[in-house]
Amino acid sequence: MTALATPRRSGWIPWVFVGGMLLVIAVNGVLIVLALTTFTGVTEGQAYDRGLAYNDVLAENARQAALGWQGEIRRAGDGSLAVAITDRDGRPVPGTLRGLLLRPLEGTTQPLVFTADGEGRFRAALPVPQPGQWEARLVMTGPAGREFDLRRRLVLP
């Protein structure tokens, strides 16, 4: 008669499952830490509330379009920011200009001080501490106190 062989039991098999679970927990922990310590992706505060007021945004866009003003923003040869505002017929619009530069990635802002460079034309020094993408957010106050909002993305050296 043959003796029945006892099945071979390996003691390391349960530890493979334990090790696999510990690996999953460790990877998830690293991902949680990275998610909490890196850029959130939010560049606009109160985004939900602004979304609820979207009809106000549409009304403001219609008001801007009714003005018929056009804005041109460029980097001048001397390194300054040059802005020209014209009406529907291409004539310069007199007024005052104020604004800032915003770095969308970090939310860093740099105020801009504009000086008139002729009717409808303005210049400001560019105090850019970092090269890269910036957004010019400008507001032109023209005749009769009408305001024109001008935003442009710029890539600055």
Higher pLDDT pick, 125 / 9? 125
3.40.50.1000, 2.60.40.3340, 3.40.47.10, 3.40.50.1980: CATH of 70-156: 2.60.40.3340
Do the Cβ atoms of 153 and 135 come closer than 8 Å? yes
Residue spans of the domains in the chain: they are 70-156
pTM of the model: 0.63
Is a pLDDT exceeding 60 seen at residue 130? yes
Summarize the confidence of residues 96-100 as an average pLDDT.
92
Do the Cβ atoms of 93 and 140 come closer than 8 Å? yes
Q: What pLDDT, on the 0 to 100 scale, is given for residue 80?
A: 86
Q: Letter for the amino acid at 120?
A: G
